[in-house]
Amino acid sequence: MSFAIEGKTAIVTGGANGVGLAIGKHFLKMGANVVFADMDEERLKAEITNYADEDSKARIFAGDLRQKLTVANLLSATIDAFERVDILVNASRQVLLSDPLSVDDTTVSDLIDQNLMTALRLTQAAARRMIKQAEGQDDQAYVGSIVNISSIAARRAHPDLLAYSVSSAALDQMTRSMAVALADKRIRVNAVAFGSVMSASLKGTLRENEEMREAIVENTPLQRIANPNEVADAVQYLASDAAGFVTGQIITVDGGRTLIDPTAVSGH
């Protein structure tokens, strides 16, 4: 089986920043056509302008993907540019602190809408397109691959991250459920859950908080913070034919962080 994604067309949401941007650029390097989608049009243009023109393999799409019409427009723009969609990477995600005791706190519903429902609607829309593309093509092993970007917060608990943890856990279960629902259509659905990744935002935070860096490294058996490209490599595997018999799985890229008891490491 091949890890190649050359010639495939991918939509990558959250494509203006962090892990989404890293995945999109990695896919371009591997020869895929990539539509970078994000709400932040200015950031998209700043990051992707050098890659995106009418003759290139890259396009940008700006819009609020929480809106159903925007989802439809994203699929239409992708088809107009590249005539098909083979891979969807749902990397658009938000982290908000929440107050677990406040009845007025809306972060749970806000993050369910952002981190779960956006991915679900895009999955449904992309899957319908993938199914249509496969009509009349018998015995085709590869119809499409959908990869959701999740977090180890789905399996960890923190008093300030109730909403993020709940939305991440919901995304993981959506991944499993849609994998079963789409299996007979030969569409695979998986997820990559990561811990700390050295994105631009985390770099800025760590410059001002060396104690946080030390705590992350101390609680990671591999003793370092991941590079965004290490997440992108895992996504490429799941998107490729090499993962042709892999569906409904949550691959964890965290350096072993979820395997240990942090209180044991700190000595408490």
What whole-number distance in Å separates Cα of residue 149 and Cα of residue 171?
9
Structure token digits, residue 111: 């993050």
Catalytic residue among 51, 142, 164, 237: 164
Residue 237 is among the residues annotated as catalytic for this protein: no
DSSP 42-108: HHHHHHHTTTBSTTSSEEEEES-TTSHHHHHHHHHHHHHHHS---EEEE---------TT-TT--HH
Give kind and range of the element (H or E) at residue 190.
strand 187-194
Give kind and range of the element (H or E) at residue 140.
none
Number of H helices, E strands in the chain: 10, 7
Q: What are phi and psi of 221, to 5 degrees?
A: -55, -35
Other CB atoms closer than 10 Å to residue 4's CB: what's the count?
Answer: 14
What whole-number distance in Å separates Cα of residue 120 and Cα of residue 129?
14
Q: Which residues are catalytic?
A: 164
